[in-house]
Structure 1
Amino acid sequence: METDSKKLLMKRFTDFINTASDELAGELISPQAMFFVPGRSEPLQGPDGYQEIIAMMRAGFPDIQWTLEELIIEGDRVAARFTMRGTHHGSFLGVPPSGKAIEVKAVNFYRFADGQIVEEYGQPDLLGLLQQIGAVPL
């Protein structure tokens, strides 16, 4: 898979995480894909696993949107820097809605095979997010 193809795939993946489209999930994510999420002992798997991640974020931040800021591509791997923005209108990690806006950075690492994502290690700035919604003092 060429660099330009990976860039396009990551742009479409950003469209997917911003829309939670089942169609895009099936197209971009391998059924065997593994997603390693902070705070979870076991990885989530496949398109449904990623939809679970999105649903958890949307439960706390219904208007959340991700902006892809930067990509570094090497072989079958991609490092992506995102900014997440949204408003805390629902419970998140047990924290009741605060109505506060968030802007959180995340760095995720992906592996590709056969034109699909097969692995992601996600690392959002959870401390920064919790500080922004008032759950942790500054």
Structure 2
Amino acid sequence: MGATKEFFDQFLQFINTADENLAQQLINPAAKFHVPFQADPLQGPKGYLTIIGMMRSGFPDIQWNIEEMITENDRVAVRFTMKGTHKGNFFGVPATEKPIAVAAINFYRLSNNQIIEEVGQPDLLALLTQIGAVPAM
């Protein structure tokens, strides 16, 4: 678990800064990223930077925090909290300046200290509700 924790500490630094050097170091060029808003997976460091760029376009101050992590062999499940301010267009919704605090649960496969696959499950309903795109229940 120690090496996995250290890896995800670096990964957290990467997603919170969009550091291209860390992307190259932590993400395998053939890695696949399955996201709920796109049928085909994104690939490699560039694909992951695309995901981060999409989130940062709507929430330029977005920061992820790891709440919980479970590891088994080459697989890791991570529960994150994403926090930011809606300052840009996101899924067609213009900036509202509203803060968000949204959970995401992502599943990773690692090989040779690099991510080779991720299935991301952000709580998009909560996010869209918090920015007013979906009526609150």
Distance 1:100 1:28 in 2: 32
Structure 1, 59-68 or 3-12: larger mean CA deviation = 3-12
> 1:36: which partner in 2?
34
What is the identity percentage for the equivalent residue pairs of Structure 1 and Structure 2?
A: 60
Cα offset, 1:122, TM superposition: 0.3
> 2:104: which partner in 1?
106
Distance 1:118 1:4 in 2: 19
The count of corresponding residues between Structure 1 and Structure 2 is 136
> 1:80: which partner in 2?
78
Equivalences for residues 1-138 of structure 1 within 5 A: 3-138=1-136
Output the amino acid matched with 1:134: G
RMSD: 0.5
Distance 2:37 2:115 in 1: 21
Output the amino acid matched with 2:100: I
Structure 1, 18-27 or 3-12: larger mean CA deviation = 3-12
TM-score (norm 2): 0.98
Cα offset, 1:25, TM superposition: 0.3
Output the amino acid matched with 1:122: G
Runs of 4+ in 1 over 4 A off after TM superposition: none
Output the amino acid matched with 2:70: I
Output the amino acid matched with 1:35: F
Cα offset, 1:4, TM superposition: 1.4
Cα offset, 1:116, TM superposition: 0.3
Distance 1:24 1:109 in 2: 19
Give the secondary-structure state (helix, strand or coil) at the position aligned to 1:6. Answer: helix
Output the amino acid matched with 1:68: I
For structure 1, the residue ranges without an aligned partner over 5 or more in a row are none
Cα offset, 1:7, TM superposition: 1.2
Cα offset, 1:11, TM superposition: 1.0
